Copies of this chain bind each other. A is one copy, B any other.
Amino acid sequence: MSDVVFTVEASTVNSTRVDVCAGGHAFSIDEPARMGGTDAGPNPVEYLLGALAGCLNVTGHFVAKEMGFTIESMDIRLEGNLDPLVFMGKKLGVRAGFKEIHVWIDMKCDAGEETLAQWAQAVETRCPVSDNLRNSTPLKIAFTH
């Protein structure tokens, strides 16, 4: 089996909003009014956290099934902190994005402690979005105008 390619297309609606097409689905990304936006949807870093939650859920269920136990539910809270002065061009020497991301997962399932510890390790290793955040991912950005 070779690599699977995922493609997404986005178009500017205004200075803070893009509308995105992904497969048969569409969604809007924007900033809230207090950040100068039109609040048509969650902002980019909220989608980033959401993507991680979605990936932990699907990977978690996949690995649990493989290990022979059932997850009844996962409630996931995610939090990231960043320094907005970097985005605003008013600070150097600090990273622009989340300095760290905290994830709290509250699960209902029928597995014991030892099984869950093995499960958690496998999930963190095999979750694609976790990998892309935790480890450096090459971005190749090309501009035409």
Contacts and interface: CB of A to CB of B under 8 A. Distances in A.
Contact of A10 (B78, B135, B145): B78
Contacts of A16: 57-58, 61
A73 B141 contact: no
B143 A77 contact: no
Interface residues of A, number: 111
Contact of A140 (B56, B102, B129): B102
A118 interface: no
A18 B127 CA distance: 15
A10 B105 CA distance: 10
Given A87-B62, A133-B137, A4 B82 contact: yes
Interface string A35-59: 0010101111111111111111111
Contact of A84 (B4, B131, B141, B143): B4
A50 B82 contact: no
